[in-house]
Amino acid sequence: EVVVVGSCMTDLVSLTTRLPKAGETILGQKFFVGFGGKGANQCVQSARLGAKTSLICKVGSDSFGNDYVANLKKNGISTAFVGQTTDAATGTASIIVNSEGQNVIVIVPGANLLLNFEDLKRASDVICKAKVVVCQLEITPAVSLEALKMARASGVKTLFNPAPALADLDPQFYTYSDIFCCNETEAEILTGIPVGNLEDAEKVGRMLLGRGCKLVIVTLGAEGCMMISGDEGIPKHVPAGKVRAVDTTGAGDSFVGALAFYLAYYPKLSMEEMIRKSNCVASVSVQAPGTQSSYPYRKDLPQDLF
Ligand code: ADP
């Protein structure tokens, strides 16, 4: 089983011709509600590939929260450890996108920040019996770290995605990560080194590996990934296929969710092969609009991925 400890966010998206100024009211052309949040996104991608999944998270006792639980169920995810609280609203991302694709975004984490150690304790059985535990940073960092520690103590593989990045990340996150997977922006915030090419990616990969994780993956958008493992110590570029990208939002979460699936269900594959397959899954997600709505199902993918 893949267990994700992380966030749920309701995306409230308005499409406008231009972004409003302070104090201004403008008319938009379209509005839609989407399901997002890095934790849920990753869990949904894993589930759509065929993984048995549990999401440990917290939403509000409100209509967004109820709708989110229904969305998780629809994706076949176990909601036994999805808490609902009256103390905060379901996390939201209010997004305005203009006709040039520029956006302004306000995230209110709400209930996500109320996920606590007690919730983890209640879920300790599923965490300790998982094949892989996946965490990010859209919940209280100490709670993410505790989940990684619980997993490690039971010999469960840990996959950590330091997103959104924190410049002062607790160094324990490195030592409790079997796989530390970040994108270029996150890598720059963590190391101070901007990643503009493969050489930079090798450099930051080496640097992050030196902080104590077993394997580092830096995702590079259309360029695929740079991986470096503590066993070999030599960075390896794993390219992505050439596709026509229409919307890359959530590509990183599709990648992480796919990687969790391969780690749990194809543990004998080489890391390079798992990354190559995860690149394929994520590259399909960029060819359709939206976040979870763009994530492919197993039946829609080339069968040699399984
Ligand atoms: P994030 O969404 O966090 O910014 P990236 O942009 O690095 O993450 O993308 C994550 C993964 O998605 C990449 O490693 C790759 O597998 C896939 N991907 C992203 N953009 C493209 C693209 N334009 N073409 C092909 N694959 C892509």
Examine residue 14 and state whether it is found in any structural domain, yes or no.
Answer: no
Q: Which atom of ligand 1 is nearest to the CA of 185?
A: 4
Q: How many domains does the chain have?
A: 1
Average pLDDT over every residue of 257-276? 98
33: CA distance to ligand 1 center in Å?
23
Give ligand 1 pocket residues (Cβ under 6 A). 183, 219-222, 224-225, 240, 243, 245, 248, 251-252, 255, 279, 282-283, 286
Q: Which atom of ligand 1 is nearest to the CA of 279?
A: 16
238: CA distance to ligand 1 center in Å?
12
Examine residue 29 and state whether it is found in any structural domain, yes or no.
Answer: no
Question: What digits encode the pLDDT tens for the residues 123-132?
Answer: 999 999 999 9
pLDDT in the model for residue 277 = 98
Question: What digits encode the pLDDT tens for the residues 6-50?
Answer: 999 999 999 999 999 999 999 999 999 999 999 999 999 999 999
CATH of the domain at 170: 3.40.1190.20
Of the chain, the percentage scoring pLDDT greater than 70 comes to 100
205: CA distance to ligand 1 center in Å?
17
Residue 101 clears pLDDT 90, i.e. is over it: no
pLDDT in the model for residue 42 = 98
Examine residue 32 and state whether it is found in any structural domain, yes or no.
Answer: no
Average pLDDT over every residue of 107-128? 98
- Quote the CA–CA distance of 7 and 58 in Å, as a whole number: 7
pLDDT in the model for residue 71 = 98
Structure tokens at 66: 């109820």
Q: What is the best residue among 183, 189, 247 to mutate for testing ligand 1's pocket, by most ligand atoms within 8 Å of CB? A: 183
Name the region of 149 (left: φ>0; alpha: ψ -120 to 50; beta: rest).
alpha
Quote the domain boundaries for residue 212.
Answer: 2-8+37-90+110-296
- 280: confidence class by pLDDT, cuts 50, 70, 90: very high
Question: In the annotation, is 253 catalytic?
Answer: yes
The residue whose C-alpha atom lies closest to atom 20 belonging to ligand 1 is 221
Average pLDDT over every residue of 56-77? 98
Question: What digits encode the pLDDT tens for the residues 175-232?
Answer: 999 999 999 999 999 999 999 999 999 999 999 999 999 999 999 999 999 999 999 9
Of the chain, the percentage scoring pLDDT greater than 90 comes to 97
pLDDT in the model for residue 151 = 98
The residue whose C-alpha atom lies closest to atom 19 belonging to ligand 1 is 221
pLDDT in the model for residue 102 = 87
- 174: confidence class by pLDDT, cuts 50, 70, 90: very high
**69 vs 101 pLDDT, higher one:** 69
Average pLDDT over every residue of 73-85? 98
Residue 60 clears pLDDT 90, i.e. is over it: yes
66: CA distance to ligand 1 center in Å?
31
pLDDT in the model for residue 46 = 98
Examine residue 76 and state whether it is found in any structural domain, yes or no.
Answer: yes
Which long-range contacts does 117-125 make (Cβ < 8 Å, 24+ apart)? 117/143, 117/146, 119/56, 119/58, 119/81, 119/83, 119/143, 120/5, 120/56, 120/146, 120/147, 120/150, 122/81, 123/3, 123/54, 123/56, 123/80, 123/81, 124/150
Examine residue 155 and state whether it is found in any structural domain, yes or no.
Answer: yes
Q: Tell me the H-state helices in the chain.
A: 38-48, 63-74, 117-122, 124-129, 141-153, 172-175, 184-191, 198-209, 251-265, 271-285
CB burial string 260-291: b at 16+ within 10 A, e below:
bbbbbbeeeeebeebbbbbbbbbbbbbeeebb
- Quote the CA–CA distance of 253 and 134 in Å, as a whole number: 11
Examine residue 282 and state whether it is found in any structural domain, yes or no.
Answer: yes
Non-local (6+) Cβ contacts of 136 within 8 A are 6, 7, 38, 39, 42, 144, 160, 161, 162, 163, 256
Examine residue 18 and state whether it is found in any structural domain, yes or no.
Answer: no
Rg (CA), the chain: 19
Q: What is the best residue among 255, 281, 295 to mutate for testing ligand 1's pocket, by most ligand atoms within 8 Å of CB? A: 255
Examine residue 31 and state whether it is found in any structural domain, yes or no.
Answer: no
